[in-house]
Amino acid sequence: MFHPRQPLWLNFVLSSFRGRYQRGILSFAVLMLASPGLASAQGALPADERPAEQVYKNLKALKGTPASQLNQSMHLIKGALGVDCLYCHIEREWEKDTKAPKAVATQMISMVMEINKTQFGGKQIVTCYTCHNGKPIPADTPVFPVLEPVEAVKPVLPAVDQILAKYVQALGGEPALRKVTSRVITGTQYIPTGPGGTTPMPAMVERYQKAPNVSATTYRTPTYSISQGFDGTTAWSQDQAGRVTDAVPLDILRAKRTADFYEPLSLKQEYSRMSVTGIENINGHDAYAVVGVPQGDAAERLYFDTTTGLLLRKVTVLPTPVGNSPYQVDFEDYRDTGSGVKFPFVIQMSPSTPRTELAPNSTLRVTKVEDNKAIEDAKLAKPAPRTAAPAR
């Protein structure tokens, strides 16, 4: 039933699309993309900023979107609906319009964009997840909420400066942190491979860091190696074929912050504004939730242990045309590196990278940290592209 005070778009959702929801053919899927490997197959590189319709076949929605954002949009949509690529697409024939959900997708994507434009001034408020919540068919019946006891007295929260000062002290203190000017980290990690990064591959990890803001990481698997880094100016990556690609501007901005060797000392400068929002439980530990807004980027959330002061979690989002794709990094098992400075020996990333599908995660298990070890400049420099060996 239409409600006269209800926005037209909501009436439209509740009536026009109810039948198709119930028949199980609704999907927010992008009309052409399905396989993250498709980009390289059709010539798009991770930093490809051409309009998507110039790179992909039969694209009927999200035209004008940079090609580099289409894969992550698909990953986000899959997570929002709890489906796989084949819910809407034909394997290896992604551009075909054979399946019914694909026909509905154009209308749904357009509807969501129109809602955000007309109801929220162009802000991206409504997304696939708003209705779907991980299900291909949205619920149309309310669920009784689980009532939790009301907190009698709200805790007194410390100021941001107090939390950051305790964090620095927990790591060893500013004098100890500044005495370290380089670091070599070795460990093991299952890195994401295959379509969407859903296939884990064991790798040995070597990470080199040097003050003030240069870093490089190499992942060596049994059959190939890949690397990535920040050379003080730009973020780069080298794939298993030897191709070297510069990152998109947003990734460069974030890599610059992460490569800051003294980032724990620079957090107040890194964020244009910071606020303490409450206390949340992170992996069994109470933590102060701090929201920081970097210049020119989306807000990030940091969680500091209320007892130890150590950073337990950092949450960022990757903007896409269909919503924000979340990325979470958890830090555990802090140990003294031998220089009086503590470092987390277990780092879990969910998902595996900001640009893989949402389901798989990846854990870096550090085996050794060497502070103030001499590092050759060649290990930190942006590599030259490798060329294939001539055929015999």
pLDDT one-digit tens code per residue, 195-240: 878 889 999 999 999 999 999 999 999 999 999 999 999 999 999 9
The answer on pLDDT for 295 being more than 80 is yes
Cis peptide before 212 (omega within 30 of 0): yes
Cis peptide before 321 (omega within 30 of 0): no
Higher-pLDDT residue of 335, 67 = 335
N-terminal to C-terminal alpha carbon distance within the chain: 73
Q: What are the tens digits of pLDDT across the range 96-147?
A: 888 888 778 777 888 888 899 899 998 888 898 888 888 888 887 777 777 7
Three-state DSSP at 340 gives coil
Range list for CATH 1.10.468.10 in the chain? 8-132
State pTM to two decimals. 0.78
Q: At the fourth CATH level, which superfamily is domain 8-132?
A: Photosynthetic Reaction Center, subunit C, domain 2 (1.10.468.10)
> Phi/psi at 288 (nearest 5 deg)?
-75, 130
Which distant-in-sequence residues (6+ apart) come within 8 Å of 327 by Cβ?
Answer: 315, 316, 317, 318, 349, 350, 351, 353, 354
pLDDT of residue 70: 82
Reported as a pLDDT band with limits 50, 70 and 90, residue 337 is: very high
pLDDT of residue 83: 84
Higher-pLDDT residue of 155, 22 = 155
DSSP 8-state symbol, 93: B
Q: How far apart are CA 116 and CA 166, in angstroms?
A: 41
The answer on pLDDT for 9 being more than 70 is no
| CATH code at 160-380 | 2.50.20.10
Please, what's the largest Cα pairwise distance for the chain? 78
Range list for CATH 2.50.20.10 in the chain? 160-380
Reported as a pLDDT band with limits 50, 70 and 90, residue 152 is: low
The whole-number average pLDDT for the span 24-53 is: 45
pLDDT of residue 56: 86
The whole-number average pLDDT for the span 339-348 is: 98
pLDDT of residue 47: 64
Query: Considering the chain, what is the average pLDDT of its residues?
Result: 84
